[in-house]
Structure 1
Amino acid sequence: MNRLDTTAVRRQFPSIDVLDEGIRRIYLDNPGGTQICGEAVNAMVSYLKHMNANDGGHFMTSRRTDLLKAEAHDAMADLVGAESGDEIIFGQNMTSLTFSLSRSMGRELDPGDEIVVTRMDHDANVSPWLMLAGDLGLTVRWIDFNPETNRYDETSVDEAITDRTRIVAVNYASNALGTVNDVRDISARARAVGAWSYVDAVQYTPHLVTDVQAIGCDFLACSAYKFFGPHQGIVWGQRQVLERLTPYKVRPASNELPTRFETGTLSHEGMAGTLGAVEYLAGLGRETEGGGTNRRADIIRAFERIEATERPLCQRLLAGLEAIRGVRLYGPGSEGRVPTVAFTSEYISPAALARSLAEHNIFVWDGDYYAMEVIERLGLAETGGMLRVGLAHYNTEEEVDTFLDVVEHVSTGAR
């Protein structure tokens, strides 16, 4: 599949050309949130200007809001490969949705039942389950990862999932290490013992094709602001599971899918922006040969192009960091990963390096990025964690090279 025209892509992001005191921004903070595409911005503005209302009414703006919500659900179904928009749940963010759904799932559990979490996850897919276990007297089992391979330890997986397991919470791609995990295998193991699988795909969806049918999981969570949209959380759930669970909601609210789990008045403008982001992604595939006949097919083509664009950039980044004295990389090689790269320098702390990069208007993150267990497992909690840099398909070779030059200059100069 042909790569994207990065120049054309960058024109579709209003923030790309913003200057701070004459200095162009280099957005390498993408794992914490991507830039929003113009199509998403325009969709949000259009909603607020022309159809801002609550849903369920007989008047024009309310009817248009109902239509917008249905379109947003259908768009997200296409993005993740779901059978129906009724299986899509919108909310404030992935964390809030996970806390909410965990409580509904907990009503099906008994004391002594087991929940499995991992030491590679963002805490949004750990704390809800730990708190649920504490509330209900459940047993928590942990899947560990191997610091040498930066992948789940197979023995740990075998030992964690038992006949008493009822929920398995895993991540598709690590927000700290960039590792892409075999969630299809883990979901199958969960299903084999009658457990539900809950997949955090927040870091995966901006980079690779997501297909919930192929994965075979019961839930998959993601965030629109990680795939070029606004701050919205989205969860897909198997229809039969969603229909079985009891939602925590007010009495007058509908008991039908998907609204039974969408508590309160949603951010309709956020849903409009999410629809715009999905349409932007579909457009990247629509412009290829054979595109334009089916949105799901266009999305698949788009991510093939995104992967073809990001992979060489990530390889360039990894090779450049490996060549800098004192740098230690964490995470897998160029295969089996998303372009999220974390490292430490022998000569400068992650926070100090991040501040120096910020002085050059290069945006990165340092610390633990809420992946507390990863940092603890690697023994980096007392030394400030790691510096994390993440690429998106709008980044360029020149930006990667500028970043590498600054890292080399700052870190070696601190010796």
Structure 2
Amino acid sequence: MPLEVDRIRSEYPALTEGFVHFDGAGGTQPAEPVIAAITRAMRTAVSNRGTNFEPARRSGEIVAAARAAVADLVGGDPQGVVFGPSATALTYLVARTLSQGWGPQDEIVVSRLDHDANVRPWVQAAGHAGARVRWADVDVTTGGLPTGQYRELINANTRLVAVTAASNANGAIPAVRQIADLAHDEGALVYVDGVHATAHLPVDVAALGADFYVTSAYKWSGPHYAAVVAEPQIWEPLHPVKLVPSPAQAPDRFEYGTLSFELLAGITAAVDYLAALAGRNGSRRQSLVGSMTAVAAYEKELAAKLAAGLAEIDGVTVVPAPADRCPTLAFRVAGQSPAETARILGDQGICVSNGDYYAVEFFTATGLRDSGGAVRASIYHYNTADEVDRLLEALQKIR
């Protein structure tokens, strides 16, 4: 079932302000059901988790519902969902915990395509453990991450491979399953950054071969909160540093302090909202797959329109990206810094990002970081063809 974009846009209160939001890769606007769920949770009596009285039981129900929702979104197990304030914080947590068992004989593999949140925590953890870091390079002519190099990078000493499910810089989608198979053949774990991919594609962590999969709800119409998902048996032998009286069982022992119950209520609402984008059909998981498949098709059309339009504007250069990518394009306007382009567009109510967007290694490899990176236009399912035309017309005028 195709998306009813006019109806969808009416469910985002922020869109009534008239801005054109091509900044979804940095964070999407929240949907009305999410706002309502957060407000409702904050207006209702909720206490810290417990069983002695109703407000305490409610908080436990909110947490359980959010774990189930995220599990449905990515095809995981609710008992393997760990919540935290951000994908960066959660990745640092997992990196610190896993690296307790690393030593000088061990190796990890990171990618120059990734957001720094899936690079630096691993590099720093390896440094503390004395482990070796090996790098997977991007192909600067195609903007992709060649799979073949992993056959040389992964060996019997590899303990972990960190790779993105989709680049937040140019949208490139690596062959994660093939990389994961190579890692698993050598007994290594695979940590997948799904922050960008989850907003644009149907996700199945098992199909990806991800041992860990991290995602941030504010990239898919939800609140600023994140989750990392793994099978319960993967969490079981891992023991992070924690307070003595805090829970000993997984996944709770990985969640520091009191969880944000109102934001978890918003996460559940965001997942329910995504499930209904193309109409509910079967279970929530089945509906999510259907909705996100429709989202991917719609956004692909808009991205193709934008790419074709950019190619026709003299002086605009698009940062290379493979054909298999999310609807995220990076570009530069000749004779103008990316920051200046973004400011001019912003003055016209067109919201785009500029810089390296924390994809430090990617923009260093392409040689663009020192001169300001690029302008990024990231399409989301509430964008329209008319908005793409508005961006292209603005670029025609300022080129």
TM-score by length of 1: 0.94
1:320 pairs with one of 309, 313, 316: 309
RMSD: 1.1
Contact 1:100 1:248 survives alignment (8 Å): no
1:311 aligns with 2:304: no
Distance 2:142 2:150 in 1: 15
Q: Is 1:285–1:300's contact at 8 Å kept on the other side of the alignment?
A: no
1: CA distance between counterparts of 2:369 and 2:294?
37
Counterpart AA for 1:70: A
Q: Which residue of 1 aligns with 2:374?
A: 386
Task: Verify the 8 A CA contact 2:147 2:175 in the aligned structure 1.
Answer: no
Aligned residue runs from structure 1 range 232-381, under 5 A = 232-287=225-280, 291=281, 293-332=282-321, 335-381=323-369
Q: Matches of residues 32-43 of structure 1 in structure 2 within 5 Å?
A: 32-43=26-37
Match of 1:137 in 2: 130
Match of 1:163 in 2: 156
- Give, in angstroms, the shift of residue 112 of structure 1: 2.5
> Following TM superposition, by how much is the alpha carbon of 1:155 offset from its aligned partner in structure 2, in angstroms?
4.3
Deviations 1:266-301 (A, max 9, x none): 1111111110100001112434xxx1x311000011
Distance 2:365 2:390 in 1: 31
Residues 3 and 278 in structure 2, CA contact (< 8 A), matched pair in contact too: no
The answer to whether residue 81 in structure 2 is matched with residue 88 in structure 1 is: yes
- Is the 8 Å Cα contact of residues 339 and 391 (structure 1) preserved in structure 2? yes
Give yes or no for the alignment of 1:51 onto 2:39.
Answer: no
- Looking at structure 1, the residues matched to 163 and 71 of structure 2 have their Cα atoms a distance apart, in angstroms, of 21
The Cα shift of 1:247 comes to 2.1
State whether structure 2 residue 1 is matched by structure 1 residue 12. no
Map Cα deviations across residues 205-226 of structure 1 (whole Å, 9 max, x no partner): 0010000111122100010000
- The aligned counterpart of 2:54 is 60
State whether residues 177 and 209 of structure 2, in contact with CA within 8 Å, keep that contact through their aligned partners in structure 1.
Answer: yes
- Give, in whole Å, the separation in 1 of the partners of 2:28 and 2:174: 22
Aligned to 1:185: 178
Q: Is the 8 A contact 2:110 2:162 kept in 1?
A: yes
Unaligned 5+ segments in structure 2 are none
What is the rounded CA distance, in whole Å, between the counterparts of 2:330 and 2:347 in structure 1?
20
**Could you say which residue in structure 2 is the equivalent of 1:21?**
none
Displacement of 1:77: 0.4
- Once the 2 structures are TM-superposed, how far is the Cα of residue 57 of structure 1 from its aligned partner? 4.4
Identity %: 39
Would you say how many aligned residue pairs link Structure 1 and Structure 2? 399
Return the letter of the residue paired with 1:236.
V
1:207 & 1:380 partners in 2: Cα distance?
Answer: 26
* Letter matched to residue 362 of structure 1: I
Deviations 1:105-150 (A, max 9, x none): 0122222200110001000001101110111101000000101121
Q: What's the secondary structure of 1:344's corresponding residue?
A: strand
Mapped partners of 1:238, 1:113: distance in 2: 23
Pairing 1:71–2:65 present: yes
Asked if structure 1 preserves the Cα contact closer than 8 Å seen for 2:247 and 2:253, the reply is yes
Partners of 2:230 and 2:98 in 1: how far apart?
12
Secondary structure of 1:17's partner?
helix
SS in structure 1 at match of 2:276: helix
Aligned to 1:229: 222
Deviation of residue 182 (structure 1)?
A: 1.0
The aligned residue for residue 104 of structure 1 is 97
Task: Assess if the C-alpha contact under 8 Å between 2:100 and 2:129 holds in 1.
Answer: no
Q: 2:387 maps to which residue? A: 399
What is the CA distance between 1:198 and its match in structure 2?
Answer: 0.2
Q: Name stretches of at least 5 consecutive residues in structure 1 with no aligned partner.
A: 19-23
